[in-house]
Amino acid sequence: LVQSRVVRRAPGERSYHIFYQLCSGASPLHRKKLLLRDANYYNYLKQSSCLRIDGVDDAKRFSSLLGALDIVQISGENQMELFSMLAVVLWLGNISFSVIDNENHVEVDSNEGLANAAKLLGCSVPQLVIALSTRKIQAGKENIVQRLTLTQAIDARDALAKSIYAHLFDWIVEQINHSLGTGRQRTRRSISILDIYGFESFNKNGFEQFCINYANERLQQHFNRHLFKLEQE
C-alpha cells in the first residue's frame, strides 16, 4: 500500500530516496543508457516541492547502494535492469493526456515521457498508448475496446508506475534472500528486520492511507502480543 507514495505525496515530502539518488549519482554512461534527467525534471518528484534533504548527499548514498548491491551478489546486468525500471517509473509520470470529445475521452500526448518509457520498457510506443488510453471488456465471446476518460487514464498510468515499483521491491527482497540462503550454510548468519511505522494523518487522507494506518496498528498489536504477552506467559 505504501507504494502510493511513488505517484502522490503531501507538500514537503520526498518520494523514495532511490529516485533522487539515481538522478544525482548515476554515471554519465548510466544517465545516457537510462535516458535520465535531473530530479526536478520529473513530475512524480517535483510535485511536492521537496527534492533535497539538508545534510543528505544523494550521489554519495547512490555510490554506497551500488556497493551494497554488489555485496548481495546482484550482477551488473541485473542492476542496470533494476535502474531501467526505476527510470520507467519516472518517465511514466511525465506522460500526459488530451481530451478529444465531449465524453472526456482522451488520447495520449506524443512527448518525451511516452517515447522514453516505451523504449526502456522494451515495447513500442503504440503498444504503450493502447495500454494507457483504452481497456478491454469481454461481452460474451467478443472483446470490446473502450477509450478511457481523463481520470481513468491518469489512474491507469499511476497504477502501472506503482505496480512496477512494487514488483521491483519484491524482486530485490527475493535476490537478497537467495544470497543469504546460500551464505547461511557456511556462516549461519541472517538478517531480521522489523519495520513498523506509526499512525499518520495528513491534511488529505485517502483510502490507501486509512488501510496503511489500520495495518500498522494491527502489526503493532501483533508484535506486542507475541513479544511481551506470550513470552511472559
pLDDT digits over 72-95, tens only?
889 999 999 999 999 999 999 999
Q: What is the pLDDT of residue 149?
A: 94
- pLDDT (tens digit, 9 = 90+) per residue, 22-60? 999 999 999 999 999 999 999 999 998 999 999 999 999
% of residues, the chain, pLDDT over 90: 59
Instruction: Please list, residue by residue across 48-70, b when 16 or more beta carbons sit within 10 angstroms of its beta carbon and e when fewer do.
Output: bebbeeeeeebeeebeebbeebe
At the topology level, CATH places domain 3-181 in: Four Helix Bundle (Hemerythrin (Met), subunit A) (1.20.120)
Q: What is the pLDDT of residue 192?
A: 67
SS3 122: coil
Q: What is the pLDDT of residue 28?
A: 94
Domain borders along the chain are 3-181, 193-232
Distances (CA, A) of 185 to 54, 93, 181, 189: 42, 44, 7, 9
Please give the Cα distance from 35 to 29 (Å, whole number).
Answer: 10
Please state the rounded mean pLDDT for residues 221-227.
Answer: 84
Please state the rounded mean pLDDT for residues 108-122.
Answer: 95
Look up residue 12 and give its three cell numbers: 514537503
pTM: 0.82
